[in-house]
Amino acid sequence: MQAELIEIRNHLAQHAPFDDMPEETLDKIVSGIEIAYFRAGSDILKFGERNGYLHYIRSGAVEMYRRTGELYNRLGEGEIFGQYGLLMSKTVRFPVKAIEDSLIYLIPDEIFQYLWKTDDNFTDFVEVEDRSRLRSALSRRRRSSQPMTARVTRLISREPVTAPISVRLQEAARIMTEEGVSALLLMDESGDGSKLSGIITDRDLRTRALSEALPSETPISDIMTDSLITTNSNAFIFEAMLTMLHNNVHHLPVMEGDTIRGVIALSDIVKHESQSSLYLVSNIYQQQDVEGLKRLSKEVPSTFVRMVHEDANSHMIGSAMAGIGRSFSQRLLELGEEKLGPPPVPYCFMALGSMARDEQLVVTDQDNAMVLDDSFDPTQHDEYFLALAKFVSDGLAECGYSYCTGDIMATNQKWRQPLRVWKEYFADWTENPKAEALLNSNIFFDLDGIHGQIEFTEELKTFIAQKASNSQRFLAMLARNALNRTPPLGFFRTFVMEESGKQAKTFNLKRRGTAPVSDLIRVHSLACGSKAQNTFNRLKAIAGTKLIPEDGVDNLRDAFEFIAIVRIRHQALAIEAGREPDNNVRPEDLSPFERSHLKDAFQVVSQAQKFLKFRYNAQVARNV
């Protein structure tokens, strides 16, 4: 093959939808290619004229228009146009004009039709527009990710072993031994039918019965767990894993309506997924001091990398990493209480930001607060809670969770307050919104209780949902703040990068990528009165309303997932290379596939921000 044709083939191979094609297919394409040059300002395709080519931009930039003359899209190097007409009547549907001097490869219709009929990835790519193309790319990735497609019932290997709730301790132990199970389900048969009322595990027998030397005739109901955490038979394995991480349980009953399908154990999921995050969480609770936790924290980056290599999605990775962070916090709180004694009044330790949203990665700091019982008296009780907060905060820093530079931690007295004061905070933020105050308090609208009286934070979530949804002024101000961070996409669909400093020629995939999405979704979620915290769960709540156009929820979900996955992979690659992971990406370090679909995703975010401004009448004060 001539050197010129090899160069053309190599360029095609860097860009979707040609990047996954075998060399023989690329050779076939190259053998029929024609080359055309268009000066800036000249027409390439006119509406209604005949067109027999798929156009590929080798260099330059073009604009596509609707038949009304309205701008439809801007395209640059490595992108294609003309496919819509080829799929229909061979006439131009979207006129195209060169806005820079442009070199175009013309792929004849017969080769286009051959690719369309024989290559499914090519067909998916050319049949859909940017947003659907992004969805198609994600769907192919999901199909290859078993944790997303395998149902939890796959892990059930036997019928559930049950016993009446009236059974005695010795009999329960005998049944578990004979059946060879580590968990026994306890049924209440006093009503019309049999109802699952509790569970007893090997660990319960050791810690609640043997260690206390309970008599063999002790009713099992005295030591069983009756606040049951269960999962549905339609749940995916990764959802069961997240449930175990979030609630620190080792056995999970699987229900189909009111019927028990079986019980899965922590070890079942670990064997299936080959993930170590559950093992890591289990080991966290076995550590007896901060030094032990610090040693164990060294395993967090490798756990993260393993999950990335096994194609877990961003929700699974973010939730698993948040679960690990919660576990470090919970164990530190337990150790703190052992050191300082029991708390003088009830309290709840709150996670804020990415941990509360189940979207934490390896580059993170600590954002937390305390909600104290309304009987809290600062003069009598605050010395204890300050000492506990400092013990936990210092311990988290030892484990790699750096101190919050904005001092949003329970060590700050302002964020260590009784429930009634927290309600006053949120009432003031929602009823008397001020742009700067909301900018600084934005993180408090992502909150989750992780230790102590969890009902305190649940009460706060209900309070916030009611207040926020009834204050249009607050929503407008929150929307205005959400528009401060824009995606890094320029006028010609080029990436906008930092111009100076250490991060020059990069863009930040958190500050300019995932954060703008979670910010705007938070506004819609609060507007519809949802108490959800996770971005994907908030989208589910929004989907049941009329706040966003019908396809907007799916588009935002796909955009957020793709941006998050590129950010996750960027951090994993840094860890493997022995570098400190961060959020700053250079375009040249991205694959052609990632560059192309990131532009699609950023375009979705940009359009969603325009709608947010319209929906809540939000005027932008500045750009960040």
Read off the pLDDT of residues 97-147 as tens digits, 9 standing for 90 and up.
999 899 999 999 999 999 988 888 888 777 655 455 565 556 555 544 444
Read off the pLDDT of residues 51-70 as tens digits, 9 standing for 90 and up.
999 999 999 889 888 877 88
> What's the whole-number mean pLDDT along residues 487-494?
75
126: left (phi over 0), alpha (psi -120 to 50) or beta: alpha
pLDDT at 357 over 80: yes
Q: In angstroms, what CA-CA distances link 65 with 43, 44, 62, 73, 606?
A: 11, 12, 10, 7, 19
pLDDT at 622 over 80: no
Question: Of 28-37, 308-317, 347-356, which gets the smallest average pLDDT?
Answer: 308-317
Read off the pLDDT of residues 477-487 as tens digits, 9 standing for 90 and up.
999 999 989 99
The CA distance from 157 to 162, in Å, is: 15
Read off the pLDDT of residues 378-397 as tens digits, 9 standing for 90 and up.
999 999 999 999 999 999 99
258 vs 223 pLDDT, higher one: 223
Name the DSSP class of 161. P
For the stretch 217-247, what's the b/e string if a residue is b when 16 or more beta carbons lie within 10 angstroms of its beta carbon?
ebebbebbbeebebbebebbbbbbbbbbbbe
> What are the strands, taking DSSP E only, across 326-389?
347-352, 368-372
Q: In angstroms, what CA-CA distances link 284 with 30, 36, 241, 281, 456?
A: 57, 63, 17, 5, 25
Residue 334's CB: how many other CB atoms inside 10 A?
Answer: 13
Structural domains in the chain, CATH included, are 3-127 (2.60.120.10), 158-228 (3.10.580.10), 314-463 (3.30.460.10), 471-616 (1.20.120)
**Amino acid found at 35:** I
Read off the pLDDT of residues 212-222 as tens digits, 9 standing for 90 and up.
888 989 999 89
292, 284 Cβ separation under 8 angstroms: no
- How many helices and strands, by DSSP H and E, does the chain display? 24, 20
Q: What is the largest CA-CA distance in the chain?
A: 92
pLDDT number for residue 144: 45
> What's the whole-number mean pLDDT along residues 357-366?
90
Average pLDDT, the chain: 87
pLDDT number for residue 524: 95
pLDDT at 375 over 90: yes
pLDDT number for residue 14: 84
pLDDT at 273 over 50: yes
Q: Can you read off the two tokens belonging to residue 283?
A: 């080991």
pLDDT at 403 over 70: yes
pLDDT at 349 over 70: yes
pLDDT at 491 over 70: no
| 0.75 surpassed by pTM | no
